[in-house]
Amino acid sequence: MERFLKDKEVKPNELSPLTLAFIGDTVFDLLVREELICDANRPANDLHHLAVERVRATAQAQGVEKIMPVLTEEETAVFKRGRNAKSGHQPKNVSRSDYHMATAMETLFGYLYLMNRTDRILELYRLIYG
């Protein structure tokens, strides 16, 4: 996976953590969806339910525990920026802690994607779901 709009300049270090999480959410979702369709040809409704189980904040927060030990210093700093970001809202049915951890992971995935470090994204994703 690499950036589609390579001709567009972007400076991930200058973007807010929530902006990074905005794109990181999609990157993570695409990985989950691709893995699900590669595993089996299923009805779309089944795929949707399986994807939701993996991309919900609680599941992402559990994944964070698997990747934290291998994050570089730079990645940890980006992760912490995302974890500490103030979003202004609390979604239903998820703890505040899980929500912040999920946002942090999405921030990291967004940062790595915009930095064209897609091999690293895949490495982290495989630690979560490998």
Catalytic residue from among 7, 25, 46, 119? 25
Residues 18, 103 contacting (CB under 8 angstroms): yes
In this structure, are residues 21 and 103 in contact, taking their beta carbons and an 8 Å threshold?
A: yes
Name which of 51, 56, 52, 46 is nearest 35 in CA terms.
Answer: 51
Task: Please confirm, yes or no, whether 98 is among the known catalytic residues.
Answer: no
Euclidean distance between CA atoms 68 and 66, whole angstroms: 6
What is the rounded CA–CA span in Å between residue 67 and residue 39?
23
Active-site residues: which are they? 25
